[in-house]
Every structure is written in C-alpha cells, then in structure tokens.
Amino acid sequence: MGEMEVFIDTEEIAEYFYHELIKRGFSPTELEVAELADITFDYLIAKSIIDEEWED
C-alpha cells in the first residue's frame, strides 16, 4: 500500500471535541477544546501516524 495524503484540521478536531464533550455533560471552553485538538495533533505526530508539513 502506498502513501495516502491526509489533511488534519485542528479547528475541526476542536469542534468535534466540543460537541462530544457537551453531549457527555461537560462545559468546555473554546481554549480547552483548542488545547485538546493541539494535543491530539501532537499525539498523531509522536505516533508517526501523520507527518507535519508546512505550507509555503
């Protein structure tokens, strides 16, 4: 199997976490879910699931 190009949007992750936490009875702030999204992104990089590339 070859490489697959995947785009990870931390804002989309943050929105997903926000809605899931609300459904589970939590009251997260915008800053908290943004931090969770950043942590998730860093985790995916640390586990070599994704590689970070910078746009020019």
According to the model, what pLDDT value does residue 17 have? 97
Residues 6+ apart with CB under 8 A from 49: none
Greater model confidence, 2 or 10: 10
For residue 11, the SS3 value is: helix
Q: How far apart are CA 23 and CA 43, in angstroms?
A: 24
Geometric angle at alpha carbon 46, from 41 and 14, rounded to 5°: 10
Judge whether residue 51 has pLDDT over 90: no
Q: Where are the alpha helices (DSSP H) in 1-56?
A: 10-23, 30-46
Q: Mean pLDDT across the stretch 40-47?
A: 95
Judge whether residue 8 has pLDDT over 80: yes
**33 contacts 14 by C-beta, under 8 angstroms:** yes
pTM for this structure? 0.80
